[in-house]
Amino acid sequence: MATTFPPGPSDWTFGVSLARGLKYRLIETYENLHRDYGDRVYCRIGPIRLYFFFHPDDVREVLVTHSKTIIRDPRPLRVFAQWNGNSMLIAEGEQWVRQRRLVQPAFQSRRFAGYAEKMDVGINALKQTLAADIARTGHADVDIDQTMTALTLDIICQTLFSTDMKSHTEEIRRAVATLSEIAFVEMQAPFIWPLWLPTQWNRRKKKAMRVMDEVVWEMVRQRRRENVDKGDLLSMLLAAVDDEGDGGSLTDEQVRNESMTLMLGGHDTTAAGLDWLWLLLAKHPDICERCRSELQTVCGNKAPTFTDLPALTYLNAVVREALRIYPPAIGVFLRKATEDVTIAGYEVPKGSLISLSSLVTHRDERWFPDPHRFDPDRFLPPRVDSIPHGAWFPFGTGPRVCIGQSFAMTEMMLIAGNLLRSFRVSLVPGQPEPVPVVTAALRPRDSLWLRFEPV
């Protein structure tokens, strides 16, 4: 029989203290709630009933068992819809099902060899830049966040549009950073100011949106004019037909919306994940050497390709472990119950909000002993078999698992494998321990400088 409420904080401010904690100290607040009250936590923020679930079983109940009745909270979706339109990221119900069917062919495994070739172009360009710096000074010191953002942006432009956007990289990078910052703030604000209001905040937002719109619309219109299948993601979207549904295709507006979502989501969170991956590798040269040994065994003297990835089991485990310690999207979208449901034996009334945190669950010592230790062997047999379903979900899980999961894993493995073959990585002397901060993704608060040297 379901009981009423899990334990949780209560205070005379009617939840204002908790709301401030979630806004200004998000990671610390989630960790404290789990430490103080356990796997299931309940609180009120004004009239809002808010449930936190941290146990892997509960994660699966929310995202899998009740996926049709516990949907994303409309508020953050309204924020992202300002620049993503009604894309697959935003849509719910049957509309989402149809859009997912139309977009899914672009992520079929048979497409990935072609995408990987486009990824190699950007990776090889970065290798040449690092090698040139090393030839001059003996090492290359890089701001890893800027470097990985530029690389993943170049890759998504190549795989999405078959276009070199290097001349626009900095402009797009600044626009994406602005939208990420604004998204995080607006998702927690009492209301969103209308775009027509000439505030400084809105001027920044509109400028960033204009930059992104000009890039994406130009690509969509140009490809329509050319009517050529280039084997990229944009070609897949333009040619998509809903054979299982109404037989229709995506309008140009819908193609623009899906392209915008893929462009933003396809590089921002991946770049954040790579920031933390390189930090961890810089601190663990023994793990880097083990990766090189595997790369030599599998690939010989050539660079790893897409066909090599299934055999690079240790490198895969390294990436998965980095995503465990530092999940770029540290939680999935806040959920809302559309009807009364029972989670973990507790009644969750219709209209209640439900929050999950991949970072908290990923760092629970019950599922990952010594959780702050970088230990890729957790994801190799036999230990991987002991990880509960729902304990690792950097891409979400269930029907709305990130459609780009395989794309992101392929990209991260190819980048790491290629660079590790040629370079050793370490912290630049004097580099302080980075502080994670949350915007649209989990990133280092300040510049993170790493040193690359020849192997």
Q: Which of 5-9, 140-144, 157-161 has the highest mean pLDDT?
A: 140-144
Q: Which fold has domain 16-454?
A: Cytochrome p450 (1.10.630)
Q: Domain boundaries in the chain? A: 16-454
- pLDDT tens-digit profile of 376-398? 999 999 999 999 999 999 999 99
Please tell me what DSSP assigns to residue 382.
T
Confidence at residue 332, expressed as pLDDT on a 0 to 100 scale: 62
- How confident is the model over 363-374, as a mean pLDDT? 98
- Report the sign of the C-alpha dihedral through residues 79, 82, 86, 89, in that order: negative
Would you say residue 404 has pLDDT above 60? Answer: yes
Confidence at residue 237, expressed as pLDDT on a 0 to 100 scale: 87
Q: How confident is the model at residue 2 (pLDDT cuts 50, 70, 90)?
A: low
Would you say residue 426 has pLDDT above 60? Answer: yes
- The phi, psi pair for 218, rounded to 5°, reads -60, -40
Would you say residue 177 has pLDDT above 80? Answer: yes
3-state SS class at 311 = helix
Pair type for strands 48-53 and 353-356:
parallel
Confidence at residue 35, expressed as pLDDT on a 0 to 100 scale: 97
The one-letter code for the residue type at 192 is I
Confidence at residue 158, expressed as pLDDT on a 0 to 100 scale: 87
- How confident is the model over 321-343, as a mean pLDDT? 91
Confidence at residue 298, expressed as pLDDT on a 0 to 100 scale: 98
- How confident is the model over 251-278, as a mean pLDDT? 90
Least confident of 120-124, 170-174, 432-436: 170-174
Rounded-to-integer distance, Cα 209 and Cα 175, Å: 7
Rounded-to-integer distance, Cα 311 and Cα 299, Å: 9
Least confident of 161-165, 398-402, 403-407: 161-165
Collect all residues with Cβ–Cβ distance below 8 Å to 66 and sequence separation of at least 6. Answer: 341, 343
Average pLDDT across the chain, whole number: 91
Q: How confident is the model at residue 3 (pLDDT cuts 50, 70, 90)?
A: low
- How confident is the model over 402-431, as a mean pLDDT? 96
Tokens of 383: 């230990």
